Chains A and B, each alone.
Chain A
Amino acid sequence: MAVYERTYRGYVGPTTDPRTRSLVLARYAFEDIFASRLFLGFFLLCFVWPLACAVVIYLKYNVDALTILDLSAIDLIPIDATFFRLGVVRPQSLSAFLLIMLVGPALISPDLRNNAMPLYLSRPLNRTDYVLGKFVVVASLALAVTVAPALILFALQSYLGGGEWFAENYRIAPAMVVSFAVWTLCCRRSRSRSRHG
């Protein structure tokens, strides 16, 4: 209908799958979050450290680069479980924590401040869907700065280190995923506890 026809009319078009409705909240939240320059800057900053780790792994296996920099492979730290625990998991967990601190309140507080909950809950959504929609945002961002770079670094190291290194250290990957998942859930839980007093 053209907008100049200002009469009330019904809608009989297609509708979306009810199971995907909570993702609408997530999509809108992502749009709002990434519209903030502060958040975008911090989000990009979270990838600087993994990038530095990737450079170290690359240098470790690139003799030409080491020669140019006048370094030997022994001078660089060994790439093993300790490297991933102290060099990847801990800093990235801290980044995820700060990211959640930055994003979490902005996801919920505008809805609470402006009394939007009755509007959401009068739609085909329940409280679980609402929480799920918001949690998807937090979890996605946390995974993006933790699991994704960690697994990429692991894959890079496995590729450069060869099958022998992978056979010895394959447990690192699932261990990192589990530790990040536990960390994210703990952060989320502590945020919601602090919000509800």
Chain B
Amino acid sequence: MTVESSATQSVTQSATQPATDESGTVAPPSVTPPSEPAASLPARRRRLAPYEPTKIELDGLSIRFGRYQALDSLRGSFGGRCIGLLGPNGAGKTTLIHTLLGFYKPSAGTARMFGCDIQREGKKIREWVGYMPERDAFIGGISGVRFVRLMAEVSGLPPRQALERAHEAFFYVGLGEARYRKLDSYSLGMKQLAKLAQAIVHSPRLIFLDEPTAGLDPPARVRMLRLIRDIRDSGLAQILISSHLLRDVEECCEEVLILKKGKIANYCNLAEERSANRKFLEIETQDAGDARYDGSRGEHDGHQAAFVAALGGLGCEVAVQNRRLLKVVLPQEVEIRDLYQAAAARGIQIRRLDYKRDSLEDIFLKAMEDDDGRL
């Protein structure tokens, strides 16, 4: 795995590739007229060029809590429009996000975002970052819109603009009608949306979403994913999503960073993987002699081995999933009927045959495998 090279490649692609809509046409970046600056306020303009894509550069980043190595010499450069951060519990996903936000001091190495070092220029970086934490996080006893306004002001928006943006953010996430209600009275789904509103209210360039769909019912989850995709497609912010839910990541993300035991297990561009992955056939077999097949394992294995060898002879690439399941990549010149003929000749019956591609689950499970192939 060459994280550095594949990551750099994807960065170049994402940096030069404007947002495209579903039909594949290039959408011009939506330029918003600047808000009218208040005359009495210090008009300190943001120094970062608007909508400039950034890279998250990890340079030997390590975090150690006592004897526990949470992150172990992470290296790489990631810059897609939407990056999925995957990994089992304890892999270091949230620790990585917290370290990038400056909550933890690296025990070794460092990281850079927007060209700034996270240790020396953390405050500057956080001006352009939005964060939606995994756990419930809000300020009790105040209304939703006041909470989001406070967060906008702390991020540097003047009071009038902060209030305007807070209202907009609430309407954007679909909580417009509930914006004057106390946060304590919100349901879990509403709290998740309020957390998203506070993360985007100051128009960050990079948004960290930690388990954004955790605890949501199916309609709320669909709504949340739609919002994430909308933000991604706007081209105004890059998103890094940490999630256990592969389907959510698959629906939103273009790139995936898989962590395992504090190390990078895989980093891939999903679109490239999808286009690079050849279609393969998933074939379920059983012995032809006995449709009920309860014969000896050795006999079937012998037939299957012969069938696999025959497929190899036809020029197919074959992977044996288990005793009855094969994955086969067909060359151009081989037809399906050749498979049936080869199977019949070796006493094997093909019970099922599907065209498939590697899913994110396959990529994830492959990354989670130990050296001996076990999960």
Stretch at the interface among B57-65, B155-163, B288-296, B367-375: B155-163
A55 within 8 A of B: no
Q: Are B236 and A9 in contact (CB under 8 A)?
A: yes
Which residues of the partner chain B approach A114 to less than 8 Å between Cβ atoms? 136-140
Which of the residues B37, B135, B140, B237 comes within 8 Å of A13, measured between beta carbons?
A: B37
Residue count of chain B within 8 Å CB distance of chain A? 62
B346 within 8 A of A: no
CB distance from A97 to the nearest CB of B (A): 25
Q: Are A12 and B34 in contact (CB under 8 A)?
A: yes
B32-60 interface mask toward A, CB cutoff 8 Å, 1 = contact, 0 = none? 10111110011111100011000000000
B99 within 8 A of A: no
**In whole angstroms, how far apart are the Cα atoms of A105 and B151 in the complex?**
21
Which residues of the partner chain A approach B156 to less than 8 Å between Cβ atoms? 15-16, 18, 21, 124
**In whole angstroms, how far apart are the Cα atoms of A123 and B42 in the complex?**
19
B87-113 interface mask toward A, CB cutoff 8 Å, 1 = contact, 0 = none? 000000000001001110000000000
A121 within 8 A of B: yes
**In whole angstroms, how far apart are the Cα atoms of A9 and B102 in the complex?**
27
B250 within 8 A of A: no
A10-B203, A121-B101 given; A116·B137 CB < 8 A: yes
**In whole angstroms, how far apart are the Cα atoms of A160 and B140 in the complex?**
50
Find residues 111-126 in chain B having any chain A CB closer than 8 Å to their own CB: 122-124, 126
B327 within 8 A of A: no
B186-222 interface mask toward A, CB cutoff 8 Å, 1 = contact, 0 = none? 0000000000001010110000100000000000000
B130-150 interface mask toward A, CB cutoff 8 Å, 1 = contact, 0 = none? 110101111111100000001
Residue count of chain A within 8 Å CB distance of chain B? 36
Q: Are A10 and B50 in contact (CB under 8 A)?
A: yes
A6-B171, A11-B35, A122-B126 given; A28·B150 CB < 8 A: yes
B360 within 8 A of A: no
Q: Are B154 and A120 in contact (CB under 8 A)?
A: yes
A1-24 interface mask toward B, CB cutoff 8 Å, 1 = contact, 0 = none? 101101111111111111001001
Which residues of the partner chain A approach B138 to less than 8 Å between Cβ atoms? 114-116, 119
B30 within 8 A of A: yes
Q: Are B126 and A14 in contact (CB under 8 A)?
A: no
Which of the residues B32, B137, B231 comes within 8 Å of A119, measured between beta carbons?
A: B137
Which residues of the partner chain A approach B263 to less than 8 Å between Cβ atoms? none
**In whole angstroms, how far apart are the Cα atoms of A82 and B139 in the complex?**
46
CB distance from B126 to the nearest CB of A (A): 5
A32 within 8 A of B: yes
Binding site for A on B (CB under 8 A): 30, 32, 34-38, 41-46, 50-51, 98, 101-103, 122-124, 126-127, 129-131, 133, 135-142, 150-151, 153-158, 161, 165, 167-168, 171-172, 174, 176, 198, 200, 202-203, 208, 230-231, 234, 236-237
Binding site for B on A (CB under 8 A): 1, 3-4, 6-18, 21, 24-25, 28, 32, 110-111, 113-116, 118-126
**CB pairs A–B below 8 angstroms (13 shown):** A12-B46, A13-B158, A14-B161, A15-B45, A15-B127, A16-B157, A18-B156, A113-B140, A116-B139, A118-B103, A120-B154, A122-B129, A124-B124
Beyond A8-B234, A115-B137, 9 additional contacts (C-beta under 8 Å) are: A3-B176, A12-B203, A13-B35, A14-B41, A14-B45, A114-B138, A114-B140, A118-B101, A121-B103
